[in-house]
């Protein structure tokens, strides 16, 4: 009974954690470029002490920080500062107080300080991992290789000026994961290095790759698992009480 109760308690914990991950995905379904968090792999480890009858079960968690790399739907916006990556790859970015990271979020704009930022307020970095300063412009153009050109507001019409290149990382041969701060970085802790081997589309944004239907169906399954394990715990308790009553000394 002891083993059954511990296993059911671990299963309850697993169901709750999976529900939390599903809720996290659903809350970000409308976030541009969001990558769906993948459910962690859970298991139970049994530990038996030598020369003792007591057995304990412990929850084992692997795969923390993994996410679904499948590309979300590309939506045309015709906004020149909206960018999307077609295929694999990431924009290099940096949020206040955090280390450099990677993002698929391409709803970009120019901040009041003149920096190129995305909808989250993160700085979009150059190929040398520096903030990109954007002078006042009449038109802005982004090539497929990330080169950023503007038609200066005080320049000749039709004459463009190269102001830098957006930092792009293909991630080829690297495993990525989400850190505790929610940012994507190399899983091995290696520093971010741009390679510009990424295809950028101007006037598009990539939507979240979360499927609402899949998440809702999965959430219902986790709820059923939770309820089933509650019943198993109640059953184990009833069996323990029944066994105890059989072993109880009869009273006079």
pLDDT tens profile 131-141: 999 999 999 99
Q: How confident is the model at residue 124 (pLDDT cuts 50, 70, 90)?
A: very high
Same domain, 110 and 191: yes
Q: How confident is the model at residue 91 (pLDDT cuts 50, 70, 90)?
A: very high
pLDDT of residue 20: 81
Whether 240 shows a pLDDT value over 70: the answer reads no
Cα gap 129→152, rounded to integer Å: 24
Q: Across residues 99-117, what is the average pLDDT? A: 95
Q: How confident is the model at residue 217 (pLDDT cuts 50, 70, 90)?
A: confident
pLDDT of residue 76: 96
Q: If we measure between CA atoms, which residue out of 67, 82, 34, 77 comes closest to residue 209?
A: 34
pLDDT of residue 180: 84
Cα gap 68→70, rounded to integer Å: 6
Same domain, 91 and 185: yes
Same domain, 80 and 192: yes
**Where in the sequence is the domain holding 153, given as residue range(s)?**
74-206
Whether 112 shows a pLDDT value over 60: the answer reads yes
Same domain, 122 and 234: no
Q: How confident is the model at residue 77 (pLDDT cuts 50, 70, 90)?
A: very high
Same domain, 152 and 238: no
Whether residue 169 is contained in a domain is answered as yes
Pairing of strands 109-110, 83-85: unpaired
Most confident of 43-52, 58-67, 154-163, 199-208: 199-208
| pLDDT over 70, % of the chain | 76
Cβ atoms of 103 and 178 closer than 8 Å: no
Same domain, 94 and 180: yes
Buried b (16+ CB within 10 A) or exposed e, 70-87: ebbeeeeeeeebbbbbee
| DSSP-derived 3-state class of residue 160 | coil
Same domain, 61 and 79: no
Q: How far is CA 16 from the centre of its chain?
A: 18
Same domain, 187 and 127: yes
Q: 104: which strand partners?
A: none
Cβ atoms of 207 and 73 closer than 8 Å: yes
* Number of domains the chain is built from: 2
Whether residue 252 is contained in a domain is answered as no
């Amino acid at each position: 009974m002891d083993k059954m109760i511990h296993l059911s308690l671990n299963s309850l914990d697993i169901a709750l954690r999976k529900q939390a991950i599903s809720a996290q995905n659903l809350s970000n379904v409308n976030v541009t470029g969001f990558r769906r968090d993948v459910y962690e792999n859970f298991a139970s480890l049994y530990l038996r002490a030598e020369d003792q009858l007591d057995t304990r079960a412990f929850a084992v968690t692997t795969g923390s920080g993994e996410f679904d790399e499948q590309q979300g739907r590309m939506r045309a916006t015709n906004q020149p500062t909206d960018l999307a990556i077609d295929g694999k790859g990431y924009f290099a970015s940096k949020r206040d107080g955090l280390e450099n990271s990677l993002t698929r979020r391409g709803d970009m704009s120019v901040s009041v300080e003149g920096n190129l930022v995305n909808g989250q307020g993160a700085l979009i970095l150059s190929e040398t991992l520096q903030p990109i300063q954007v002078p006042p412009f009449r038109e802005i153009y982004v090539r497929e290789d990330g080169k950023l050109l503007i038609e200066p507001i005080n320049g000749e019409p039709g004459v463009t000026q190269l102001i830098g290149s957006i930092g792009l990382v293909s991630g080829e041969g690297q495993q990525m994961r989400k850190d505790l701060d929610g940012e994507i970085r190399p899983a091995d802790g290696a520093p971010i290095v741009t390679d510009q081997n990424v295809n950028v589309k101007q006037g598009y944004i990539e939507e979240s790759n979360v499927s609402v239907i899949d998440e809702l169906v999965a959430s219902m399954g986790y709820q059923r698992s939770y309820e089933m394990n509650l019943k198993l715990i109640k059953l184990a308790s009833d069996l323990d009480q029944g066994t105890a009553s059989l072993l109880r000394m009869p009273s006079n």
